A and B are shown apart, each in its own frame.
Chain A
Amino acid sequence: MTGLVAAVSILIVLFALAYGLVVLGISGPPAPAKLRLLGEKYLYYMINPATKYFTAESPEGVSAILWDYRGLDTLYETMVLFGAIIGAILVYREYLHSEPGKTGKIYGLSLIVRAVSKIIIWLTIIIAVAFGFTGQITPGGGFVGGAAFAVVPVLLALVYTLGYARRLGLTHRRALLLRATFLLLLVLVIITPLIAGGYVFQNQAKPGSSFSFPGRFIDSTPLGGSIFLLNLFELFAVAGAFTVAFILLGVIASLKEGD
């Protein structure tokens, strides 16, 4: 029964989205015959041998932007994620290859590593959350912050134990709830302009809709409109998602070791 309800609701959402996008035009005014300035610039440069210092030689505009025009940004974004994974593998290797101590009490990493890790875990959380909160004014953003936050449950589980992470409140149920809540908030940010008479995913005013998310904080620090909210909600959604994945991986690993 729940399976049927889920299948029907997925179908309804799909049809509603398709109808909204194609018939109602919720994603913005239909593509005009004349290109807008920003699109024109990208299309002109991305595969154009005549502008040899600007061309990316790629007819795929999104790839040209991602890996050429903002290639460094993509590289560092990838590095943050892989840095997190490499860190996890390194700590995990230490954990797997360490022998129980003489008394059998100390298992895993030494007292020194555990004492220092407490502070590193604390600093990691601050930096990860700060990435999400200040993504509109400094490099970082929601996804990078979420990926950095994902190191926290890994460190907690490996430096201490999975049970310890659970005692601090990092359970997979909570992480799932975190992910679901903030995913819902993300969707809310995306459809808010639509409800206000504008277009889906709209940030600032567009032809035919004067709706704008607040662009500035009280002291005129740029907020980037919806960018601030999207970064913030994505941070916690991604952090929750990675936490679920790592906790489940940790459970599987500890089952294998008979822990």
Chain B
Amino acid sequence: MMRAGYIAVWLAGILIYFLIVARITLFDLVVAPIISMVAALIVGGEVVKKPGKALSPKRWLYGLAYTLYYLLVVEPACHLRVASMVLGLRDYMPDIVEVPFDYRTDYAVAATANSITNTPGTIVVDIDPEAKKYFVHWLEAYTRDPRIVREKIIMVFDKWIKKIFED
């Protein structure tokens, strides 16, 4: 089981190498597996703990679909929202609110936090992993009710993130 994790990281590393050098020659085909092997031997066991998940094409597809949805739909919508606040067309009430989450994996916690921070209007300023809470600076903090806050801030990402990293 452990070995499969290293293999997953090794294969992904070979792909990364070709994305970086952007050429395929026999030389690259020989050196890429060696280069990726060095990285996999050092951190392979840490990067991937559950190889079954890392090697699942269904999760990759969800990851790709989420990336496109995030960049093409969620991001522009949030940009427009904040832009209208800047132009005085929309009210705002900035405050830091607690947002509960229920992820089990660190990748899911980090991915959701990054999704929140990268969209305009919300920034994760701190995290309490024990109490499973993000502390989010929010431009529209009209409520502090954890259920509503959670619904408004992370439910957009939640179902995708869970399909990619959890379940």
Contacts and interface: CB of A to CB of B under 8 A. Distances in A.
B26 A217 contact: yes
A114 B43 CA distance: 13
A93 B117 CA distance: 22
Interface in A211-227: 217-219, 221
A126 B17 contact: yes
B84 to A, nearest CB: 29
A170 interface: yes
A170 B126 contact: no
A117 to B, nearest CB: 10
Interface string A193-226: 0000000000000000000000001110100000
B34 A133 contact: yes
Contacts of A168: 42-43, 46
Contacts of B129: 106, 110-111
A194 B31 CA distance: 28
17 contacts: A102-B130, A110-B126, A112-B110, A112-B113, A112-B127, A114-B106, A115-B106, A122-B9, A122-B43, A125-B38, A126-B13, A126-B16, A126-B39, A130-B20, A130-B21, A168-B42, A218-B26
Interface in B26-85: 26-27, 30-31, 34-36, 38-39, 42-43, 46-47
A111 B39 contact: no
A115 B107 contact: yes
Interface of A: 101-103, 105-106, 110-112, 114-116, 118-119, 121-123, 125-127, 129-130, 133-134, 138, 152, 168-170, 217-219, 221
Contacts of A115: 106-107, 109-110
A105 B21 contact: no
Contacts of A123: 16
Given A111-B127, A152-B42, A130 B110 contact: no
Contact of B27 (A101, A102, A122, A217): A217
B110 A122 contact: no
Interface of B: 9, 13, 16-17, 20-21, 25-27, 30-31, 34-36, 38-39, 42-43, 46-47, 106-107, 109-110, 113-114, 124, 126-130
A111 B34 contact: no
5 closest A-B pairs by beta carbon, nearest first, are A115-B110, A219-B26, A221-B27, A125-B39, A115-B106
A248 B124 CA distance: 35
Contact of A134 (B9, B13, B31): B31
Nearest to A169: B42
B39 A129 contact: yes
A133 B13 CA distance: 15
A230 to B, nearest CB: 16
